[in-house]
Structure 1
């Protein structure tokens, strides 16, 4: 049985409301949860949807991949366990990422140049590509070697408005509606719960606009919760 953080968070929410609960009662097919043996619940993360090359894409889908590649390119081994990294590196990313193989290769070259030169500035920003830049700062240590990725700034994650929220909710709704269709007759009622990683606690600001512009069928309820604590923020 597969469980993820969102499912566990929402399971705790409904248990706290007094429902009896089963997690994935039918195996690795919908629903994720069943309440009181009659209400099927699908749970998913609400992430920002952006258009990349005219196609909708969740920023969650590729952020973990690019971060892993940047870590591999930036983080350098220390000579020994007692000697810290000499430089901190922050990466600034924006989609589309382009050719990541070339980007990471160019990044390694830039880091090698810095490591071999006398780094006199407190901080320097270097553009690796149109989509990826890095900021390097020397750490306040007497000795050390190598680089350590200490932060990621995702420029695509920052802005949100009512249109972005609607598009992101629609994306989740459409994909989940299609997924539950073959199993819809098994349960009396279906709910969709969205764990909000866009606004966390701010979806109520947009809920009136979203409710007017979305058809929630086949779900009778769409519930949006704060992804940090699982508390209900708004509902359609």
Structure 2
């Protein structure tokens, strides 16, 4: 099977030419449009998650030979989490080539973080099965780019750090409140307020509650520490 023009363009964006085009098509097929003869990408997603994990574990070990396991774990988590996979997927415009059922398309599936993250992992597996581990590693390293070098900042768990700051001062844990939700149902943005018992507070907006809570905690931590 030959790839369509849009899939060829996507292959160029990720920097891999498929010897078995069916692998890429399967990696981009969501369950909402799968059939008995057209399987979805879930099994590839499972494999791609493991390939990505190995590549990132090797990368952070090589980048910091003195780091302890306790230092490496949050860096690893930051590099392989679904939000990061979705960010990479957006950079290569993966959403434009996702194969979705009508209902999923109508609900904004091409922009959904979970779908993009899952499909990015499936694409990694497709490259791995098509050309082996070295090809998959080369693509991952290229697409993740500077994230690997700057992961220490991304890995800092702001909510944990803020809670530790509060506990050190005999305060109860900070509270997190959703103060606004904007945008359509399929692509909402959440505004979260982080507040300490002493009255200090900060807000942040993001596409997921988790990300908004982390951003609000980081903003509040910067305020009270600075």
Determine if the TM-score, normalized by the shorter chain, exceeds 0.5: no
Return the structure number with greater helix share: 2
TM-score norm. by structure 1 comes to: 0.23
Q: Specify which structure has the higher proportion of strand.
A: 1
Identify which of structures 1 and 2 has the higher relative contact order when contacts are C-alpha pairs closer than 8 Å and 6+ apart.
Answer: 1
Greater CA radius of gyration, 1 or 2? 1
TM-score by length of 2: 0.24
